[in-house]
């Protein structure tokens, strides 16, 4: 059961609260003085504090309670505190709520309101602890990947991306073809580079061919090379991508655009490692790791007769599915900051607009938006209208809760000046202090 600590110098109040909480399956500890309460917090696991505001006889200033509250916040910044007193002053209540107090109730209290407040705060605390634990676990796993593998400088934060990167590293050393699927601009080439960099042929060449960017009548020559005169305009013999990638990796992007004749020859290379240049009868032998990528529905192309089924299964020994950026929302802001660099920053509304946009162009579109906004923004802070996104994405109602990285980076750019960092984040100074306490960021 959750545990509540009651700090009140009136024994009758403490007993009444203990009974009330026990009726709702909540354990309670009691302390009569601030010192005793702080000591109990060090010895016991407490989920919430209900504290009085005055402890000395004939004292109604609330200064003792305020001092106790700040002492609790300093030692346990995530612990919710409900202030309870027979003497109230609106200014004092507002000030302490701004400093992070969870609630402020007057004696005699309303049992239902007090229990409802306690239950809500306990549930919120449990959810926050679970969220923090998940964030810590994700950061730990991300750092472990960065320490163990060459990730080619890839930037990400979303668990969906993490799963793809982890699998890419896991299969990199296996000498089998890898197929990377995902929409245009989602980062398939970055995943291919990670596979190559951690493979057994990492020291070899990494050759890239976009099958959709080469004319159909020239793609076989691009892949396999050609003898002089093999086609119009070929005055001399030329090597193909397989020759260039010998001993390394060949990345075939948009493999679905490869014509059927080229597919047949590619299948033979995958099976035997041998091929012939255009215009030649002499076989050439290579050792090449194949990574392919496609934004097309290859199974549908197989049914339509435009892609060979046997080639698909040869390429698809391992498939890495990279989701569109809209399905990796935690990647959006870290990538946006990465593309901006250190010279520009985003205000809270701009960040909310980025999260609200659908990103049909994926990471490529995001990079374009950030580069354009950086060039067109005269100041150091980019505002939502300067992103050039559709109006729906920059609605004034959009609200963003900054994460720990956002707060830390804003403070760094402001050289520790909280008021300046708060303005950038779209928060009041006290609201930023509360988030710093909750996120475990020390005040400068």
Closest CA to 298 of 321, 270, 265: 321
Greatest alpha-carbon pair distance for the chain in Å reads: 106
Please state, in angstroms and rounded to a whole number, the distance separating the CA atoms of residues 222 and 239.
8
Residue 106 belongs to what H/E stretch? strand 103-106
Q: Which residue has the higher pLDDT, 36 or 434?
A: 36
Q: What average pLDDT score do residues 199-208 get?
A: 96
Please state, in angstroms and rounded to a whole number, the distance separating the CA atoms of residues 141 and 131.
15
Whether the link from the prior residue into 94 is cis, omega within 30° of 0, is no
Instruction: Quote the tokens at residue 106.
Output: 């007057």
Decide the pairing of beta strands 283-285 and 274-276.
Answer: antiparallel
Closest CA to 251 of 289, 202, 215: 289
Q: What average pLDDT score do residues 171-191 get?
A: 95
Predicted TM-score (pTM) of the model is 0.67
Q: What average pLDDT score do residues 193-219 get?
A: 92
Closest CA to 178 of 263, 41, 270: 270
**Tell me: the pLDDT tens digits for 382-420?**
999 999 998 655 554 444 567 777 787 777 777 677 777
Say yes or no to pLDDT of 253 above 50. Answer: yes
Q: What average pLDDT score do residues 8-19 get?
A: 92
Please state, in angstroms and rounded to a whole number, the distance separating the CA atoms of residues 182 and 296.
8
Q: Do domains 159-229+237-321 and 325-387 have the same CATH topology?
A: no
Specify the pLDDT at position 142: 83
Say yes or no to pLDDT of 313 above 70. Answer: yes
Return the CATH fold of 325-387: Helicase, Ruva Protein; domain 3 (1.10.8)
In the structure, what pLDDT confidence band is assigned to residue 298 with cuts at 50, 70 and 90?
very high
Q: What is the DSSP letter of 339?
A: H
Please state, in angstroms and rounded to a whole number, the distance separating the CA atoms of residues 351 and 345.
10
| Neighbouring-strand partners of residue 52 | 84
In the structure, what pLDDT confidence band is assigned to residue 320 with cuts at 50, 70 and 90?
very high
Q: What average pLDDT score do residues 261-283 get?
A: 87
Please state, in angstroms and rounded to a whole number, the distance separating the CA atoms of residues 79 and 248.
55
Instruction: Quote the tokens at residue 380.
Output: 């150091």
Please state, in angstroms and rounded to a whole number, the distance separating the CA atoms of residues 421 and 439.
15
Cβ–Cβ under 8 Å, residues 366 and 195? no
Specify the pLDDT at position 438: 73
CATH superfamily of 159-229+237-321: P-loop containing nucleotide triphosphate hydrolases (3.40.50.300)
Specify the pLDDT at position 128: 75
Say yes or no to pLDDT of 218 above 90. Answer: no
Please state, in angstroms and rounded to a whole number, the distance separating the CA atoms of residues 371 and 391.
19
Q: What average pLDDT score do residues 65-70 get?
A: 89
Specify the pLDDT at position 393: 57
Please state, in angstroms and rounded to a whole number, the distance separating the CA atoms of residues 338 and 353.
17
Instruction: Quote the tokens at residue 191.
Output: 């995943």
Q: What average pLDDT score do residues 43-62 get?
A: 81
Please state, in angstroms and rounded to a whole number, the distance separating the CA atoms of residues 135 and 221.
49
Please state, in angstroms and rounded to a whole number, the distance separating the CA atoms of residues 31 and 46.
13
Closest CA to 318 of 442, 104, 431, 171: 171
**Tell me: the pLDDT tens digits for 76-127?**
888 899 988 766 555 666 677 777 788 888 888 889 989 988 988 888 888 7
What are the residue boundaries of the structural domains of the chain, listed by start? 3-126, 159-229+237-321, 325-387, 404-439
Please state, in angstroms and rounded to a whole number, the distance separating the CA atoms of residues 359 and 327.
10
| Neighbouring-strand partners of residue 31 | 7
Please state, in angstroms and rounded to a whole number, the distance separating the CA atoms of residues 357 and 388.
11
Contacts for 143 with CB less than 8 Å, ≥ 6 apart: none
Neighbours of 352 (CB within 10 A): 22
Return the CATH fold of 3-126: Rossmann fold (3.40.50)
Average pLDDT, the chain: 87
Say yes or no to pLDDT of 370 above 70. Answer: yes
Q: 50-59, 143-152, 387-396: which range is least confident on average?
A: 387-396
Cβ–Cβ under 8 Å, residues 357 and 384? no
Please state, in angstroms and rounded to a whole number, the distance separating the CA atoms of residues 220 and 15.
86
Cβ–Cβ under 8 Å, residues 404 and 439? yes
């Amino acid at each position: 059961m959750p545990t509540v600590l009651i700090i009140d110098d009136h024994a009758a109040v403490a007993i009444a609260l203990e009974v009330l909480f026990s009726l709702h399956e909540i354990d309670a500890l009691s302390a009569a003085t601030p010192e005793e309460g702080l000591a109990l917090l060090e010895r016991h696991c407490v989920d919430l504090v209900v504290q009085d505001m005055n402890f000395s006889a004939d004292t109604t200033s609330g200064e003792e309670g305020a001092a106790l509250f700040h002492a609790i916040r300093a030692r346990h910044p995530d612990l919710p505190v409900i202030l309870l007193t027979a003497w109230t002053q609106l200014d004092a209540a507002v000030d302490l709520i701004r400093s992070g107090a969870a609630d402020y109730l007057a004696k005699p209290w309303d049992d239902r309101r007090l229990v409802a407040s306690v239950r809500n705060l306990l549930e919120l605390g449990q959810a926050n602890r679970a969220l923090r634990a998940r964030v810590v676990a994700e950061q730990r796993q991300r750092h472990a990947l960065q320490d163990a593998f060459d990730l080619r400088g890839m930037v990400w934060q979303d668990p969906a991306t993490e799963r793809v990167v982890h699998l890419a590293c896991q299969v990199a050393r296996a000498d089998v073809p890898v197929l990377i699927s995902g929409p245009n601009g989602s980062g398939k080439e970055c995943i291919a580079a990670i596979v190559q960099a951690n493979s057994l042929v990492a020291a070899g060449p990494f050759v890239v061919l976009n099958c959709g960017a080469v004319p159909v009548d020239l793609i076989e020559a691009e892949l396999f090379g050609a003898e002089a005169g093999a086609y119009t305009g070929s005055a001399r013999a030329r090597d193909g991508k397989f020759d260039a990638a010998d001993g390394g990796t060949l990345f075939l992007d948009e493999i679905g655009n490869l014509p059927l004749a080229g597919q047949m020859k590619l299948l033979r290379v995958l099976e035997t490692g041998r091929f012939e240049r255009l215009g030649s009868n002499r076989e050439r032998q290579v050792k090449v790791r194949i990574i392919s990528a496609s934004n097309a529905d290859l199974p549908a192309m197989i049914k339509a007769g435009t892609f060979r089924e046997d080639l698909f299964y040869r390429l698809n020994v391992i498939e890495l599915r990279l989701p569109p950026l809209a399905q990796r929302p935690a990647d959006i802001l870290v990538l946006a900051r990465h593309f901006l660099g250190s010279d520009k920053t985003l205000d809270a509304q701009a960040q909310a607009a980025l999260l609200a946009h659908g990103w049909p162009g994926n990471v490529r579109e995001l990079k374009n938006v950030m580069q354009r906004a950086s060039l067109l923004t005269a100041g150091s802070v980019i505002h939502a209208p300067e992103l050039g996104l559709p109006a729906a994405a920059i609605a004034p109602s959009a609200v963003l809760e900054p994460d720990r990285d956002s707060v830390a980076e804003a403070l760094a750019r402001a050289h520790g000046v909280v008021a300046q960092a708060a303005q950038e984040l779209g928060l009041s100074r006290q609201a930023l202090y509360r988030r710093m306490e909750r996120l475990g960021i020390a005040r400068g």
